[in-house]
Structure 1
Amino acid sequence: MDVQQRLKELKEIIEKANYHYYGLDNPILTDAEYDSYMQELIAIEKKHQELVTADSPSQRVGGFVASQFPKVRHREPLLSLDNAFSAGDLRDFDRRVRNVVSDVEYVVEYKIDGLTVALTYENGILVRGATRGDGETGEEITANIKTIRAVPLRLRQDSRLKNFSALDVRGEGYMPKEAFLQLNKRREEEGLPLFANPRNAAAGSLRQQDSRITAERKLGYFSYQLIQAEQLGLKTQQEVLQTLSELGFNVNRNYKVFKTIEEVIEYCEQMTSARNDLPYDIDGLVIKVNSFAQQRELGYTAKSPRWAIAYKFLAEQVETLVKDIVINVGRTGVLTPTAVLKDVFVAGSTVSRATLHNLDNIREKDIRIGDHVLIHKAGDVIPEVIKSLPEKRTGNEIVFHMPSHCPSCGSPVHKPEGEVAHRCLNISCPSRQKEAIIHFVSRDAMNIEGLGPAVITQLLEKQLIKDAADLYYLEFSKLIELERMGKKSAENLLQAVEASKQRGLAPLIFALGIRHVGVKAGKILAQSFGSMDSLMLADE
């Protein structure tokens, strides 16, 4: 067998294995067998680089991509969906549908909590992957998309495709719960900021400048829409899902078909609790009219289809105990009370703390140390105390009082007239300095990878830095003395610090942490003044 023939055979073996593993959930190779075939393919391609093609499984490994993702206009806009939050909302939707069409059938699919990704295939080969963006225009992230094994690089042969040079597929990129836990564990060990949830982790992974990092993060992809469906002769959404699977895509097979809205409502209520048992996050269910002919009759509003709606789960509420209320001092000096909670599992993760925002909020909700409280995750992300449960009090609860002096530096605490916040005005306060540096290195600011809170704490404690400016004078010999800081990590950190010098004026203005100057204001100031010198000379 010649090299070219063996390469073709290896590609077919590997892509078939990917399809069975991700598309059919039925592995046909062991991990060792899969790795062996992949290593053989890569070895052949290294010797015969002229034989490497865009659809080769080796192209999933990744590499550096452009520092700016190019903009791409979608062939058809990606519209948003109207939301339903109750059975009443769903009945109203059904009433609107049946006012236009009769004998309706609904397809109900999981609303995967991830990032919408649009794929374009030309002559059966993946040529582009793009983010949703504003619905009209997204960012091209093809190199990162190719690292996801659930995304076919070449479509399976199908006679229906012979007259189609281009196909557009929509779906959701996501991070499984187990992959998310493993990623955050590694980041914690490396002293890096943790991702708040799998959705944020997936979004950050798909926008990596180095697609090798994306490849390591074990993302998944579920396909649910085929733009050219009707041209292919398909008549229902159910047929689309079946066809996508036949073409090699990973389709979520948990979709249901119902004849009545009451069946839909019953299923939505079942899934409200059952969703926590899934290996990935869903934040609702999508209900679609199954028939394309009926979809055409129903049409669209300016921003959403009239034939579909997203049922959003209400945030899960869990009871726990307030063990203590402690104060965190932020970069602007604001003292934020935080509830230390008895560990409780809510919306996919263990929660041990929740912000209480300010003293007014504590008084309004009458939250005391020792109270039983209800908590949820606002937006399924941020732990928040909803209310106290005074009927469960024993009489041993303690009313919280804001400290008169900063717990970090001992300076007097001030409450400016007209504000709800209590502030430490000492600009040399250790907590303020630390939080200011954390803000300075954050993603929207100077974006210095490897400088997590744990590393910053060590740098401050060892007096290697006093403020953000000192980061640019760090030395390799000092860095490798830090805990969990090897030579490679130190080199990467210094490279990230050096690279931050090219971030531009807008991120720098935001990084300075000026009160009331966020990302948007930073961009406006940068456009208006053009340089830091001009900004510093500006009148009030």
Structure 2
Amino acid sequence: MSTTDIDEGPDRTGDPEFERARARVEELAPEITAHRRRYYEDAAPTVSDSQFDELMHELIDLETRYPELKKNDSPTEQVGTFSEAFAPVTHLEKMLSLQDVFSLEEVQTWADRITAEVPGERYLCEVKIDGLAVDLVYENGRLTRAATRGDGVTGEDVTANVRTIAAVPQRLAAADGFPVPSLLEVRGEVYFPTADFERLNESQVAAGKAPFANPRNAAAGSLRQKDAAKTAERPLSFIAHGLGVLQGFEPDSQSHSYAALDAWGLPVSPYWRVVPTIDEAFAYIEEFGGKRHKLVHEIDGIVIKIDDFGVQRRLGATSRTPRWAVAFKFPPEEVNTRLLDIKVSIGRTGRATPYAVLDPVRVAGSEVEFATLHNADQVKAKGVLIGDIVVVRKAGDVIPEIVAPVAAARTGDETEFAMPERCPECDSVLAPAAEGDIDLRCPNARSCPGQLRERLAFATGRSCFDVDRMGYIACAALVQPLEPAEPVLTDEGGVFDLKMDELLPIRVVVRDPDSGLPKIDEKTGEQKVVTPFARQPDKKTGEILPRKNAEEMLQNLEAAKSQPLWRVVNALSIRHVGPVSAQALAEHFRDLDRIAEADEEEMAAVDGVGPTIAAAIKDWFAVDWHRDIVERWRAAGVRMQDEAPDPSEALPQTLEGVTIVITGGIDGYTREGAAAAVKARGGKSSSSVSKKTGAVVAGDKPGSKYDKAVQLGVTVVQGEDFDRLLEHGLGEFSSQSEESGDGNEPE
């Protein structure tokens, strides 16, 4: 008997009540699944929330009374199990990326190339969901595995988490003309419905956590929870958009496969359309460009595919992308809104940065309240006045910026911005750090709460100690509490000495992580205030208990003490020192005391450091309270040395003497991690491309460095081949380049 069949229990043969219960359970399970699908995927529920709850409660009651009727894939069993970590899994068939294009002319060029080979082919158009790509495997109709895209070959096993997503069926249903295949590999996107996103961020802030930047990040963060029960708390959904390995059924086209997926119970997009000409594909792009924020999920473009599978196979694919599909990416959006004010935030190095405070407006799928203006000179250069109607753009759909004022809309009531003379955080006099500097800085480096808040957020962030649960709100709470009157931390030296009894009384104003400005509660018009570390007092005893995230934060701080030396160096917020130079210093000296004691000439000679960074390091360690931070961290047990590498464990030096430039995102690696991997193989990681560059690794959304590599004839290695480059070196890629011309243009 299958593990998902009805469990054997007492022999109730002939019991009419049991038989009625059995029949009702078999009716309720698919009905509830169908209602969930209509709600999450079609945005067209046929029952109210209360009616749905009644059906669910009826099923729970029946399964409680008759446990033998409860199946493992029941709608009531959606939480899954706790997962300690995500194991690597190999996809049955490689998951390719799509070729991105940014203009209709590029789409036309792609279509012309297709029609030259196979004229008269139909196109399937669909919206490009801004979610997280996943790969599902069904064996004999049952979901057996789910994995993230990973590097296209290997992904993360997130089966337990995906099982909590209501839209993903645990078992496929057969239908006329669509027998359930013996093996099915499904590709699709996990996404966060836009209607739920704002509610999620409100709950994040209320819990003392930083809000997610966008629905895509929320989906990725939710799916990668180590505890599947936490994933189950998020209203994630799923849409299938492709097939990998398939046995037992053979569709002849993309549209035919979508009909099959729908028949089996897998959700497919309601927006796809087959068109006979590329002109109609252009019309589809225009139509959904106007609808992009009215759909149930965020989209960032339109995908156009050749519909016929036979033609798809004939056209084939490069090592990176299929030739039979292209993704048109929407350009950055521009909207008009009112510039309510210009305020100034203070960064971790004391830099005073003007920020535009905007009448909230939705741009590129998210609400924007602030936009950076960089410095007073740029405010003047753009000619913006407080009170202007301004054009706001999200460059790359990420960073909001003011493009220009709408001068024709001025009434005469607008006012010029004047850079403040004093720090808005501590009232110190602002001044350039050196003669000729454009930026003004707050000189009160130690005591300025704005600088300390930003330094603390940086030091505990991903590129430094990487302390999970210690987000921006927590950092602000430790430095700028409403209560108690005195801050818990007066500099970052005490961060590893925090105690729970210090945290529980803290109340703090919620601040925007981009601008540092207080958030305003829309209902009250007052600043938003939270207790980030304590739960509400017990109603009976009045006892104040810690939030779980506060307990986890202290645990993670303890674990962070063992981070490698380069992260400690980076966390010191020494001007000009970033992850690359921090790694270079740690690798060369292997001891923080040796770095502090080294002379400028020795430091400057370290590859990746140079005289400017060396001088900044000497200046930093010359300050008494800076050295005090190091000593407090040392006393708390923070790692101050790296062990010398064991020659017997050294990786093969496949890139010895080779300079590698990395551009764009590489699955499975942070930017710092990719650079470290190159160095571990004997190579040098550089940030600039020249004729001496050995290779440019082009990951997701490569920048201008890719273009320069093509221009200079430098070998280009696609991001999915990065691990192969590390393992085997540059030889095979260089030879490929020589055999195929310059070897730098993607096929």
Tell me the TM-score normalised to structure 2 length: 0.65
Moved more, 439-448 or 426-435: 439-448
Q: Map 1:8-157 onto structure 2 (within 5 A).
A: 10=25, 13-22=28-37, 27=46, 30-37=51-58, 39-40=60-61, 43=64, 55-66=73-84, 68-157=85-174
Moved more, 490-499 or 291-300: 490-499
Q: 1:237 to 1:471 in 2, by over 3 A?
A: same
| Structure 1 unaligned residues grouped into runs of 5+ | none
Moved more, 391-400 or 245-254: 391-400
Q: 1:188 to 1:432 in 2, by over 3 A?
A: same
Counterpart Cα distance in 2 of 1:436 and 1:73:
40
Amino acid of the structure 2 residue aligned with 1:216: E
Q: 1:461 to 1:142 in 2, by over 3 A?
A: farther
* Aligned mate of 1:464, from 482, 485, 488: 488
Is the contact between residue 3 and residue 44 of structure 1 (CA under 8 Å) also seen in structure 2? Answer: no
Cα deviation digits, residues 83-112 of structure 1 (max 9, x gap): 233332222221111011012111111111
Is the contact between residue 423 and residue 430 of structure 2 (CA under 8 Å) also seen in structure 1? Answer: yes
Match of 1:243?
260
Counterpart Cα distance in 1 of 2:385 and 2:406:
10
Is the contact between residue 42 and residue 58 of structure 1 (CA under 8 Å) also seen in structure 2? Answer: no
Amino acid of the structure 1 residue aligned with 2:83: V
User: What count of residue pairs does the alignment treat as equivalent?
Assistant: 536
1:344 is displaced (CA, Å) by 2.6
1:510 is displaced (CA, Å) by 4.9
Counterpart Cα distance in 2 of 1:442 and 1:171:
31
Q: 1:3 to 1:364 in 2, by over 3 A?
A: farther
Is the contact between residue 121 and residue 166 of structure 1 (CA under 8 Å) also seen in structure 2? Answer: yes
Moved more, 103-112 or 34-43: 34-43
1:499 is displaced (CA, Å) by 2.8
Q: Percent identity?
A: 37
Q: 1:403 to 1:32 in 2, by over 3 A?
A: closer
Match of 1:196?
213
Q: 1:172 to 1:164 in 2, by over 3 A?
A: same
Q: 1:497 to 1:366 in 2, by over 3 A?
A: same
Q: Does 2:417 match 1:400?
A: yes
1:64 is displaced (CA, Å) by 3.1
Q: 1:103 to 1:449 in 2, by over 3 A?
A: same
1:511 is displaced (CA, Å) by 4.5
Cα deviation digits, residues 184-215 of structure 1 (max 9, x gap): 11122223211111111111111112222211
Counterpart Cα distance in 2 of 1:517 and 1:8:
68
Match of 1:502?
559
* Aligned mate of 1:338, from 330, 335, 355: 355
Q: Does 2:465 match 1:436?
A: no
Q: 1:488 to 1:132 in 2, by over 3 A?
A: farther
* Aligned mate of 1:303, from 302, 312, 320: 320
Is the contact between residue 350 and residue 441 of structure 2 (CA under 8 Å) also seen in structure 1? Answer: yes
Match of 1:314?
331
Counterpart Cα distance in 1 of 2:462 and 2:65:
39
Counterpart Cα distance in 1 of 2:96 and 2:311:
18
1:348 is displaced (CA, Å) by 3.4
Counterpart Cα distance in 2 of 1:491 and 1:140:
26
Amino acid of the structure 1 residue aligned with 2:552: Q
* Aligned mate of 2:190, from 173, 184, 205: 173
Q: What is the DSSP-based 3-state SS (H/G/I as helix, E as strand, rest coil) of the residue aligned with 2:133?
A: strand
1:319 is displaced (CA, Å) by 1.0
Moved more, 129-138 or 414-423: 414-423
Counterpart Cα distance in 1 of 2:35 and 2:586:
51
Cα RMSD (Å) of the superposition? Answer: 3.4
Q: What is the DSSP-based 3-state SS (H/G/I as helix, E as strand, rest coil) of the residue aligned with 2:113?
A: helix
Cα deviation digits, residues 6-31 of structure 1 (max 9, x gap): 78974773245214431675657932
Counterpart Cα distance in 1 of 2:268 and 2:305:
16
Counterpart Cα distance in 2 of 1:366 and 1:460:
43
Cα deviation digits, residues 162-185 of structure 1 (max 9, x gap): 895432110000001121111111
Amino acid of the structure 2 residue aligned with 1:31: F
1:378 is displaced (CA, Å) by 2.6
Match of 1:493?
550
* Aligned mate of 1:347, from 364, 381, 391: 364
1:416 is displaced (CA, Å) by 4.1
Cα deviation digits, residues 134-170 of structure 1 (max 9, x gap): 2222222122111111111122246989895432110
Match of 2:231?
214
Is the contact between residue 505 and residue 532 of structure 1 (CA under 8 Å) also seen in structure 2? Answer: no
Tell me the TM-score normalised to structure 1 length: 0.88
Counterpart Cα distance in 2 of 1:99 and 1:437:
58
* Aligned mate of 1:278, from 286, 295, 298: 295
Q: What is the DSSP-based 3-state SS (H/G/I as helix, E as strand, rest coil) of the residue aligned with 1:147?
A: coil
Counterpart Cα distance in 2 of 1:397 and 1:433:
34
Is the contact between residue 476 and residue 491 of structure 1 (CA under 8 Å) also seen in structure 2? Answer: no
Match of 2:277?
260
* Aligned mate of 1:388, from 405, 412, 417: 405
Counterpart Cα distance in 1 of 2:158 and 2:584:
27
Match of 1:371?
388
Is the contact between residue 148 and residue 218 of structure 1 (CA under 8 Å) also seen in structure 2? Answer: yes
Is the contact between residue 37 and residue 166 of structure 2 (CA under 8 Å) also seen in structure 1? Answer: yes
Is the contact between residue 328 and residue 338 of structure 1 (CA under 8 Å) also seen in structure 2? Answer: yes
Counterpart Cα distance in 2 of 1:22 and 1:432:
48
Moved more, 522-531 or 149-158: 522-531
Is the contact between residue 472 and residue 498 of structure 1 (CA under 8 Å) also seen in structure 2? Answer: no
Moved more, 161-170 or 229-238: 161-170
Counterpart Cα distance in 2 of 1:140 and 1:521:
34
Amino acid of the structure 2 residue aligned with 1:448: R
1:442 is displaced (CA, Å) by 3.9
Q: 1:88 to 1:247 in 2, by over 3 A?
A: same
Amino acid of the structure 1 residue aligned with 2:233: E
Q: 1:85 to 1:520 in 2, by over 3 A?
A: same
Is the contact between residue 505 and residue 531 of structure 1 (CA under 8 Å) also seen in structure 2? Answer: no
Counterpart Cα distance in 1 of 2:87 and 2:593:
31
Larger Rg: 2
Match of 1:480?
504
* Aligned mate of 1:327, from 344, 355, 368: 344
1:470 is displaced (CA, Å) by 3.2
Q: 1:537 to 1:99 in 2, by over 3 A?
A: farther
Higher relative contact order (CA 8 A, sep 6+): 1
Moved more, 123-132 or 387-396: 387-396
Q: What is the DSSP-based 3-state SS (H/G/I as helix, E as strand, rest coil) of the residue aligned with 2:336?
A: strand
Match of 1:356?
373
Is the contact between residue 289 and residue 308 of structure 1 (CA under 8 Å) also seen in structure 2? Answer: yes
Is the contact between residue 222 and residue 231 of structure 2 (CA under 8 Å) also seen in structure 1? Answer: yes
Counterpart Cα distance in 2 of 1:234 and 1:521:
54
Cα deviation digits, residues 213-262 of structure 1 (max 9, x gap): 21111011001112135862211000111111111111112111111111
Moved more, 339-348 or 461-470: 461-470
| Structure 2 unaligned residues grouped into runs of 5+ | 1-5, 11-18, 508-530, 536-543, 604-747
1:57 is displaced (CA, Å) by 4.1
Moved more, 221-230 or 142-151: 221-230
Counterpart Cα distance in 2 of 1:81 and 1:498:
41
Counterpart Cα distance in 2 of 1:160 and 1:534:
73
Moved more, 429-438 or 373-382: 373-382
